[in-house]
Amino acid sequence: MLNIVLFGPPGAGKGTQADFLIKNYNLIHLSTGDILRSEIKEGTTLGLEAKKLMDNGLLVPDDVVIGMIKSQLEKNPTSNGFIFDGFPRTQKQAKELDKLLNQKSTSISVMLSLTVDDQELIKRLLKRGIDSGRADDQNENIITNRINEYNIKTTPLKDYYRLQNKLHEINGIGSVSEIANKLNQIIDNL
């Protein structure tokens, strides 16, 4: 199985690159942000609880997102592999993901980390807010909270995967196809 952690701050281009990767390598895309937004749309209790945090740019509790990933892994027992997008975001999530994959006799193959400076992220997110109507992309204070959450709680995960020789950092500024080619090269060389 090919299991990819697609990593990077909000606005780094993870969703865009995931679209290419799922097609090229026949993988299932698991974005915890997308799953949470669909829970909100459906008006579930989980969605309503998560919305309060998401609207402030704060992480939702670990157990909530771990439970979502667990059920998606169970729903797709015969997949070629998974792209984890926006997950894991904390040490606890990373450890639990390892356990869940271990139960399926598999593991994370690689972490692809897209790096983009904060100023560019803010610019991209504000533009996406206009294009998509996403509430958490429309307010600069919320965007700053999300980037802070990433810097404090999520960036340390690079060390978690670096210690396992799985971390690859890629400059996330450039054309979409240029970046996609770089990601393909890394995967093909695994």
Q: Which of residues 48-77 bind ligand AMP (CB under 6 A)?
A: 53-54, 57-60, 65
Give the rounded distance of the alpha carbon of 74 from its chain centre. Answer: 19
Residue 32 touches ligand AMP, criterion: CB under 6 A = yes
Q: How many CB atoms lie within 10 A of CB 57?
A: 19
User: Is residue 99 annotated as a catalytic residue, yes or no?
Assistant: no
| DSSP 8-state class, residue 151 | I
Residue 101 touches ligand AMP, criterion: CB under 6 A = no
User: Is residue 89 annotated as a catalytic residue, yes or no?
Assistant: yes
User: Is residue 14 annotated as a catalytic residue, yes or no?
Assistant: yes
Beta sheet of 110-115, edge-to-edge order:
28-31, 81-85, 2-7, 110-115, 167-171
* Among 134, 153, 158, 162, the one annotated catalytic: 134
Residue 146 touches ligand AMP, criterion: CB under 6 A = yes
Integer Cα distance of 45 and 94 in angstroms: 25
Binding part of the chain for ligand AMP, among 38-46, 71-79, 81-89, 124-132 by CB under 6 A, reads 81-89
User: Is residue 146 annotated as a catalytic residue, yes or no?
Assistant: yes
* Among 70, 104, 128, 162, the one annotated catalytic: 128
Interface residue with ligand AMP, options 4, 22, 83, 86 (CB under 6 A): 86
Question: Nearer Cβ to ligand AMP, position 104 or 128?
Answer: 128
Residue 114 touches ligand AMP, criterion: CB under 6 A = no
Residue 87 touches ligand AMP, criterion: CB under 6 A = yes
Integer Cα distance of 91 and 9 in angstroms: 16
Distance separating the N- and C-terminal Cα atoms of the chain: 12
With CA atoms as reference, report the closest residue to 162 among 111, 90, 88.
Answer: 111
User: Is residue 37 annotated as a catalytic residue, yes or no?
Assistant: no
Indicate which residues carry an active-site annotation. 14, 89, 128, 134, 146
